[in-house]
Amino acid sequence: MRTADIGVSLQHPRRSLGNRHRSQAEKFYKLGEKDNTNLSWAEQSARQAVLHDFTHPDNWRILLKIKVRLQDNEGIRSVLDEVFLILGRDPELLSQITNVNLLNSASNLLEAALSVDPLDPDDWWNLTMQEGGVEEFCERIRRLDFTDPRANILFSRRMERLLEDGFEEEYLDLTKKLLAQRPSNYEAWDRMGKLHERRNEFDLAWFCYDQAQAHSTSLKSRDEFRARMESQIDGRGKVPWKSPDITDRVEFLTRMQSLAENKHQETNPSNDESTDETELTELQIAEELLTKDRISEAFFIARRLAAEGDSKAMALTERIQEMMRNG
């Protein structure tokens, strides 16, 4: 495995390792009742549990219990912030931890968050179907932030539940939002490509497979799709499929760029106050977006320019992809 892929792999839940580290944390936590020095070992194990499986609520519970025992108010806030970050930074959740005595209320805040937004995808789906259904979820998800890779993975799993229950249009609409905020999620690109291919939407399938292959060091989605399409030509007058032309690719990337734009910020940094009266080129805009940590927008601009043959944009695209792989 490439070094650049290690950080990405750690974002994927690995339950067995998480369970093992949580068990160690619980053991040291109990030993801490007699000797507080064991709490540092408990905290280390709990952090490892969360690292390997952020979707198991018990991993967060034990980490929070340790922070409370240590009376680490800032640590408690950090744990809660991280949970809310994974849940998409819902503003309603974040507002609960302002001017609150966290030592006394940390556990209640965590349980309240998990009760309305379970980390387990099956529990989440059962709750979603009971309370307001898919329509309410689709409306809420449009307000959330999925730039954190764990949030992106968590909500990707939730999107899979939509797809499994036949909500194809909702799945496609919401998954585009996920990918606009974190285009390096190649698994979601690949899955969406398969859906478009099944629906005979071949150009859209190619766009998705192209993105998947661009962001993965091992996937050959685009090449395999092309081979499948070529194998369908039977020599009896069937018109061979051709990959989308440059204009279509540019249009697709422009739409993704539009989705990626943060509506709470100016979408064009060239409008910022500056003593430089020279209008920025699109490549310079992409570079400036990078300095503002608006990586997704920068990526789609750079890739669109690269599709048009700009060699400097291609180099920038590769640099951004490397940044995404390194998290």
Same domain, 16 and 103: yes
The domain boundary, picked from 130, 160, 182, lies at: 182
pLDDT of residue 92: 64
Same domain, 110 and 208: no
Residue 122 tokens read as 């099956």
Same domain, 176 and 217: no
Same domain, 36 and 136: no
Tens digit of each residue's pLDDT (9 = 90 or more) over 278-290: 688 999 999 999 8
Q: How far is CA 167 from the centre of its chain?
A: 20
201 pLDDT above the threshold of 90: yes
Tens digit of each residue's pLDDT (9 = 90 or more) over 213-227: 988 878 898 899 988
Same domain, 237 and 269: no
Helix, strand and coil content of the chain, in percent to the nearest 5, comes to: 70, 0, 30
Distance CA 267, CA 25 (A): 45
Q: How many other CB atoms sit within 10 Å of the CB of residue 218?
A: 9
- Confidence band for 18, pLDDT divided at 50, 70 and 90: very high
Same domain, 83 and 188: no
Same domain, 265 and 176: no
Same domain, 109 and 133: no
Q: Which residues contact 85 (CB under 8 A, 6 or more apart)?
A: 148, 150, 151
Distance CA 63, CA 249 (A): 46
Integer Rg of the chain from CA:
23
Distance CA 119, CA 82 (A): 13
Same domain, 171 and 201: no
List the domain range (segments joined by +) for residue 304: 246-325
Same domain, 227 and 273: no
Q: Quickly tell me which residue has 């585009």 as its tokens.
A: 176
pLDDT of residue 294: 87
**pTM attached to this predicted model:** 0.73
- Confidence band for 263, pLDDT divided at 50, 70 and 90: very low
- The structural domain count of the chain equals 4
Same domain, 53 and 39: yes
- Confidence band for 42, pLDDT divided at 50, 70 and 90: very high
CA nearest 9: which of 196, 284, 264, 218? 218
> Which range (9-23, 208-222, 226-240) has the least confidence?
226-240
The domain boundary, picked from 92, 118, 144, lies at: 118
Q: Which residues contact 135 (CB under 8 A, 6 or more apart)?
A: none
The domain boundary, picked from 194, 220, 244, lies at: 244
Same domain, 44 and 56: yes
